[in-house]
Chains A and B, each alone.
Chain A
């Protein structure tokens, strides 16, 4: 969590990210820390709720894999499943 905050803060300094991002909250649940650690490296976490609730866990897993394969995200393979489970559970198809 601390690391991801530092990453976000460093990005904000480097690129002048818009103030306001600090207001974005994601649901507290198992896996939220992995989401913060990984997803924050490239984008604010509002992308998650924005894209909800229409993907199931499988859809979210595909989204995470697209981040790795298409966008070059450095997400450890071991984190893919916990992230997809968290997203499916908290931001999945209702």
Chain B
């Protein structure tokens, strides 16, 4: 058991930088952002779900477990360190892949069809994509003022190579009618009480027919972990995790928008408050619109606020940048609190939906505090914000960080 006292939050421990993630996890240590509510920091422990490395436990039931930042300094997030997020506690303990079926029906489909797993893999062309799965509420705990919900730090996200088949190929077997507006998805998980709305989500029919929208069976070359949606989950590259329905069992082609708790009032952003986000016209109201694509963002993984460094000794400023599918064009680094910026070197391009690594070597020349800031730009020119765009659900936090290095 990992005692709470051994869990150090918000602390800066330069000596830890040399430890591997596993070694740090074994010591029961994980870094957490300073902005989190005090109760969230107190409640966090590193705990192991079956098949996972110790992750930051936010809640036990339903399980909400966050990836420690130590695992986010690479392009691909390991399956056993990938975050876990459920709304409802009715999660099947295990799913028998042989008995599993996927049904496709709905008033917008010409005929209902049903497949087993072997059929899906045999009858449809394989497809794969590297894409970031980011919970809509990632960084919610860093919203000031604080808002209710799972108080995530920076690790309710990960990047993986997803392999499966194209959703559109499956939809075409059912036949999508000309009057279809949305396609809705339901999974094998459900509520603890019959009165609680089952978790189901829809996407615009155009998005459902996009060649990049997949039904995935594999993650980084392995079957999906149970906690990440075994045996099949939806992949909606560029859009936030709420649409990536896990343990997928039912697909419904709809001529009317889906109206349930999870579409509205949940997962909404104020109308017009975020520039350039994707539209979802059938779900928009005068006051708000559904969260859709991921805003451009970055995460510095190699240094921590308050870390001590030495004059003349290079400091690696590294991390990842990503967006909702335009792709990262540049990452800029400032070491003087934003007065001047230089371009970081970018890592391999694994496609526009993937994490992109960045690197910059900073050699501190003067003693004192150096304020490191990083901002990513996508190919459309969108960048990160200086001030939080507050919204009641705590979404889309891409504030440029200010990381203080104490130079001695």
Contacts and interface: CB of A to CB of B under 8 A. Distances in A.
The answer to whether A and B interact is: yes
Nearest to A48: B39
A88 B213 CA distance: 44
Interface stretch (A17-25, A29-37, A78-86): A17-25
B265 interface: yes
A91 B60 CA distance: 19
B91 interface: yes
A15 B37 CA distance: 30
A58 B39 CA distance: 19
Contacts of A16: 91, 93-94
Interface in A1-43: 8, 11-12, 14-18, 20-21, 23-24, 41-43
A63 B148 contact: yes
A17 B202 CA distance: 27
B196 A51 contact: no
Contact of B39 (A17, A23, A43, A52): A52
Interface stretch (B20-28, B41-49, B306-314, B338-346): B41-49
Interface string B296-313: 000000000000000000
B62 A43 contact: yes
Contacts of B49: 18
B195 interface: yes
Contact of B43 (A50, A63, A70): A50
Contact of B196 (A24, A55, A73): A73
B201 interface: no
B197 interface: yes
A46 B43 contact: yes
Nearest to B145: A54
A54 B190 CA distance: 30
B150 to A, nearest CB: 7
B146 A50 contact: no
Contacts of A14: 90
B15 interface: no
B93 A15 contact: yes
A11 B89 contact: yes
Contacts of B92: 15
A49 B38 CA distance: 9
A14 B91 CA distance: 9
A41 B88 CA distance: 11
A73 B193 contact: yes
B151 A51 contact: yes
A16 B50 CA distance: 11
A56 to B, nearest CB: 12
Nearest to A62: B148
Interface in B140-182: 145-146, 148-151
A54 B90 CA distance: 29
B59 interface: yes
Given A18-B49, A47-B59, A54-B145, A74 B39 contact: no
B192 A50 contact: no
| Residue among A43, A46, A53, A70 facing the most chain B CB atoms (10 A cut-off) | A46
A51 B59 contact: no
B396 interface: no
B270 interface: no
B154 to A, nearest CB: 16
Interface string B45-82: 10101000000011111110000000000000000000
Contacts of A24: 60
A20 B192 contact: no
B61 A43 contact: yes
29 contacts: A11-B192, A12-B61, A14-B90, A15-B91, A16-B93, A16-B94, A17-B60, A18-B61, A20-B45, A20-B60, A21-B61, A23-B1, A43-B89, A43-B192, A44-B60, A44-B61, A49-B40, A50-B39, A50-B40, A50-B58, A50-B151, A54-B145, A71-B191, A72-B191, A72-B193, A73-B195, A73-B196, A74-B193, A74-B195
Interface of B: 1, 37-40, 42-43, 45, 47, 49, 57-63, 88-94, 145-146, 148-151, 191-193, 195-197, 261, 265-266
Interface of A: 8, 11-12, 14-18, 20-21, 23-24, 41-44, 46-55, 59, 63, 70-74, 91
Given A16-B93, A51-B148, 12 more contacts: A8-B61, A15-B92, A18-B63, A20-B45, A24-B60, A42-B193, A49-B40, A50-B151, A53-B38, A54-B37, A72-B197, A74-B195
